[in-house]
Structure 1
Amino acid sequence: MAGSLAKALTPEARARLARVVARAEAGTSGEIVVMVSARAGAYRSLVLLATLVAALVLPWLLIALTSWGAAAIVLAQAALVAVILLASQSERLRLALVPRRLRSARAREAAQRAFWSRGLSLTRSRTGVLLYLSLAERHAEIVTDLGVLREVSPAAWDGILADLITALGRGEIESGLTAAIKAIGGRLTERLPAGPDDPDELPNRVIVVE
């Protein structure tokens, strides 16, 4: 999925999404930023840990279950390490070694970091909203600033996020993001309607991180 990011979000698709963001913001003081990341983490340290554990456990299993000599056990241990490290070169297989809860936690952390590093906390009324999507982890997150948090409960976004992940599973990234942006804009318009002089403080372009 991560490798298809450029194909799924072509420059034309990103331009269309930017226009969707602009329209979604038209009726609200909220500021929506969309970020799509190929992955939230590489997880290489976890693979190394799994390799170490497997290499330590295997000899004891072979000693208990076989009559192999020391040389054969060492060769089996080396082969197991080589197979795991080779398999881990595939992002899909590497992610399969990582518990889903940890993948989701890593994506949430990445969304929080992006919120602060991209300046979403600097709007005049603290109404920044980040829609973050990590393709490798198949995880979506909405991070909001204090002005939005006071008016909209975090649970209010759950359905929007679930629909986005469902669309992602079908390979419909652009249409899923479009629907999510529109739904976020509708919710913000209800709770944080635009004032007479609300500026457009954050860029509408989609941020893509390969």
Structure 2
Amino acid sequence: MGLSRAEQFFTKEERERIQQTTKDVECCTIGEVVVMVVDRSDDYLDGEVIGSVVLGSLLSLIISALFLHSSLWFFVPLAFLLFFPFRLILRKYHPLRTAFLSARRRERAVRHRAIRAFHEKGLTRTKERTGVLFFISILEHKVWVLADKGIHEKIGQDTLNKFAAQVSKGIADGRACDALCDAIKEAGQLLATHFPIRPDDTDELPNGLMIE
């Protein structure tokens, strides 16, 4: 079985660079930075159903118009029958599913998946509530940056959104690793200002790239 898109998104050297950047940042702050990459944030079963209905109906309409005298008696059962092969096709190709869904639906899916990952990966369980998650969802071309309560009160979501936009632009420009490392460093500078390192600090979360 081949590697997933998330596993191939960064090279081995880039993963090591991201890990080292995270380590360097955490040497100056009690904050915990985690980077996670996923293939997609949702299975989009609604897109599969909607797409199958639309494509099945469209092809049925064309066939009925060209060969069956636009008969409704043929159009309806044919559209029903065509629904199933199109659903099999859409089940295999996730990008096609999202084409039938709104940008708002995709963005909401990424936000919910990022929030879920934030909880599942333990970012809410740091001692000082200072976890930061850089979340990249490949299918949707979306990046979310989330922070726990301690950091959020000092930095705010607007600043986190700027980091997300910075990484998104880097991905679009073909320099994902550079953009991500730069954003981590900039976030680290803010963390070091508001949450400087202490003698009793421990590394509570993994520094390596998380992939699902």
TM-score (norm 1): 0.84
Structure 2 residues not aligned, in runs of 5+: none
Report the residue type matching 1:21 in the other structure. Answer: T
Structure 1's consecutive aligned runs of 4 or more residues displaced over 6 angstroms after TM superposition are 56-64
One of 188, 199, 207 as aligned partner of 1:204: 207
Q: Is the 8 A contact 1:8 1:174 kept in 2?
A: no
Where structure 1 has 5 or more consecutive residues not aligned to the other structure, the ranges are: none
Question: Contact conserved, 2:60 with 2:78, CA < 8 A, in 1?
Answer: no
Equivalent positions of 1:28-39 (< 5 A) are 28-39=29-40
- Matched with 2:179 is 176
Q: Per-residue deviation at 1:55? A: 5.7
1: distance between equivalents of 2:19 and 2:205?
A: 12
Q: In the alignment, which residue of structure 2 is the partner of 1:9?
A: 10
Cα distance in structure 1, aligned partners of 2:75 and 2:54: 19
- The Cα RMSD (Å) is 2.9
Paired with 1:70 and 1:88, the residues of 2 have a C-alpha distance of: 28
Specify the alignment match of 2:21 in structure 1. 20
Contact 1:127 1:145 in 2 (8 A): yes
Percent sequence identity is 29
Question: Are 1:120 and 2:123 matched, yes or no?
Answer: yes
Across the two proteins, how many residue pairs are aligned to each other? 207
Verify: 1:135 aligned to 2:138, yes or no: yes
For residues 29 and 150 of structure 1, the distance between their equivalents in structure 2, rounded to whole angstroms, comes to 15
1:185 Cα offset (Å): 0.9
- For 1:131-170, list aligned pairs within 5 A: 131-170=134-173
Distance 1:129 1:117 in 2: 13
C-alpha deviation, 1:89, in angstroms: 2.8
C-alpha deviation, 1:56, in angstroms = 7.3
Say if 1:47 and 1:88, in contact at 8 Å, map to a contact too.
yes
Tell me, in whole angstroms, the C-alpha distance in 2 between the residues paired with 1:55 and 1:81: 8
**Deviation by residue 1:91-133 (Cα, 9 ceiling, x = unmatched):** 2222212211111111111111111111111111111111111
The alpha-carbon deviation at position 83 of structure 1 amounts to: 4.0
